[in-house]
Structure 1
């Protein structure tokens, strides 16, 4: 892990740099402002009373993901990760040790060179770090990986995939080699990573590796698929663009120039679902984003109405089935 020990603090020539440093602080309140921006809101408790952090945080954007180097300088326990932030993390231990709770009673320990993968937008998560810890983390938007899985497999991921928490990597692992490569690219080509296509390519490489780890370890393998025909892709685009209007399957078929029977058959064959089931998922995802971004005074009823839902009871039941909570609970937590 020697090469990762210099991640984000060494330039291409091996000289120390502050280019990616966001904060060095002994103040928890100041630290919270930065961690909310780089990661998400969560609760941090020091491992002993009256301990002030000696935190050091460096971060850089890699496409839509964030690559960061972080240490608190004291033992800490992290909990109450804000699911509505819509992100997940891979936490790689560079120094010290960490414990990650995979369930209420079971914790997984990661030592030097080991990583832990969790989608904190879809499941609860807690972790503890000892006083010597140093992490190199990748924070990713859930939507980014969901779209990548769809392109890779040709159908949406099984929901079990995102709720699985697992240890990955190791000193000689492909994940660590990929992480080292990304950090080296940041050192050698910082502008191209931040602004050019290099960052997008690195983002996809990181995302694909996460999906392969998830699929193999969670026992949720993608179905074999062939590229979907143009009409299916056009129909998906049309439904995303017009999701608020809740188009009928006939309207979708007419918009892309095929019969209802032909469109339904193509969706069953290439997406293993129906056009209307696809539209329901798009609409529920849209409502969820609207609830998270709702202005003060908004109500579940007003937002649901904007998305064409007339039966609030049926809508709330479907929302809870899809996301594991009622829309009213999400709106309340988003307002807080």
Structure 2
């Protein structure tokens, strides 16, 4: 069995032993009972990664395995089936998942059972209650003070489900990649929020009506307050939902208010302010400053995309701006 002490979670944990597999899943996810219905050995493999608010794993049992799980209390668990099928029951409800077509979400308050087919492969997500419910509260601009009631099963074959799969896949890739977003708190927070938002939009729940209903655009005074907050603290890692909460509106209301008032989204405005700050630093031409250092300090972690955005806004490449600033400085010194 591989050792999972690596904080990056890049190792594959593998075993044929039932108790070892149960111990791994207990440590990574949740306590449970595990058995194989026909007594055959496992071909268990798990590759998991942790970020601040999510645990995401790629899991295979390789046998007709059944997990019986007591109430989790402090987390939600999501299985997205990639291959094979599973049978799940919770709250006197039952659902069957099929690879590439469906998944399930398990709530924190009731026990559940999951039976895996031998060929089943799944993405398994663990989301702390406090994180998901606080994120939902920011999206709808109202308190969420009890566990969210989701439908047990949900569709992965349509556009929303495919977007959720893509977001989870991208999060896994970036957490695995050396120098990826696991080392960049600002970008990691944004991607975690994207996964949670897409999950709440994809899986039917008691707040789906609010999440999908058109919001009234935020008024000009609310948009102005948001602009002032961004201008004062463009380095902050506020998501749109957190920014909306700070100014007392919903995320969609703030987005519509920005579109009506300034013709761009809150995210685009944050990017424009950060580009202005980058430009100011490059034009200052500080000795030893590099474009990558300045860009990453202001939240631009994909340098190719950053260079394109910079030229689109200012008409020259960042390297040209820095070179011009240093030529001007040398001219002043020589003069």
Normalised by the length of structure 1, the TM-score is 0.54
Where 2:95 maps in the other structure, the secondary structure is: strand
Unmatched 5+ stretches in structure 1: 1-17, 230-268, 272-336
Aligned to 1:100: 88
User: Does residue 78 of the first structure (1) align with residue 64 of the second (2)?
Assistant: no
The answer (yes or no) to whether the contact 2:150–2:203 under 8 Å persists in 1 is: no
CA radius of gyration, larger in:
2
Indicate the larger mover: 165-174 or 87-96: 165-174
Paired with 2:20 and 2:72, the residues of 1 have a C-alpha distance of 22
* Deviation for aligned residue 1:204: 0.7
The answer to whether the 8 A contact 1:62-1:194 is kept is no
1:100 and 1:19 map into 2 onto residues whose CA distance is: 27
Q: Cα offset for 1:211?
A: 1.6
Structure 2 match to 1:58: 47
Q: Is the 8 A contact 1:22 1:57 kept in 2?
A: yes
Q: 2: CA distance between counterparts of 1:60 and 1:110?
A: 23
Deviations 1:233-253 (A, max 9, x none): xxxxxxxxxxxxxxxxxxxxx
Q: Mapping of 1:105-184 within 5 angstroms?
A: 106-157=93-144, 159=146, 161-162=148-149, 164-170=151-157, 173-184=162-173
Tell me, yes or no, if the aligned pair for 2:16 and 2:42 is still in contact at 8 Å.
yes
Q: Does 1:48 align with 2:38?
A: yes
Q: 1:191 to 1:181 in 2, by over 3 A?
A: closer
State the match for 1:287 in structure 2: none
The aligned counterpart of 1:21 is 11
**Residues 84 and 120 in structure 2, CA contact (< 8 A), matched pair in contact too:** yes
Once the two structures are TM-superposed, the CA of residue 146 in structure 1 deviates from its matched residue by 0.9
Structure 1 residues 211 and 29, CA gap change in structure 2 (3 angstroms): same
Aligned counterparts, 1:193-232, within 5 A: 193=182, 196-214=185-203, 219-221=208-210
Structure-1 residue corresponding to 2:315: none
- Structure 1 position 219, deviation (Å): 5.0
- Per-residue CA deviation, residues 226-275 of structure 1 (Å, 9 max, x unaligned), is 69x9xxxxxxxxxxxxxxxxxxxxxxxxxxxxxxxxxxxxxxx989xxxx
> For residues 132 and 147 of structure 2, what CA distance do their matches in structure 1 show?
14
What's the offset of the Cα at 1:143? 0.8
Contact residue 65 and residue 141 of structure 1 kept, 8 A: yes
Return 199-208 or 93-102, whichever deviates more.
93-102
Residue 220 of structure 1, CA deviation: 4.9
The residue matched to 1:126 in structure 2 has which SS? strand
Q: Is the Cα–Cα contact under 8 Å of residues 49 and 57 in structure 2 kept in the other structure?
A: yes
Preserved contact between residue 89 and residue 137 of structure 1 (Cα < 8 Å):
yes
Q: Tell me the distance in 2 between the aligned counterparts of 1:52 and 1:142.
A: 34
Q: For 1:110 and 1:214, how far apart are their aligned partners in 2?
A: 14
Spell out structure 1 runs of 4+ moving beyond 6 A: none
How far does residue 171 in structure 1 lie from its aligned partner after superposition? Answer: 6.8
Is 1:31–2:21 an aligned residue pair?
A: yes
CA change 1:217–1:102 in 2 (3 A) is: farther
Deviation at 1:134, TM superposition (A): 1.0
Q: Please give the per-residue CA displacement for 1:14-47, whole angstroms capped at 9, x wherever unaligned.
A: xxxx961252112222222221121111121212
Give RMSD over aligned pairs: 3.2
Greater RCO structure (CA 8 Å; 6+ sep) = 1
Do the aligned residues in 2 keep the contact of 1:100 with 1:116 (CA within 8 Å)? Answer: no
Give the count of matched residue pairs.
212
Give the 3 Å change call, closer, same or farther, for CA 42–82 of structure 1 in structure 2.
Answer: farther
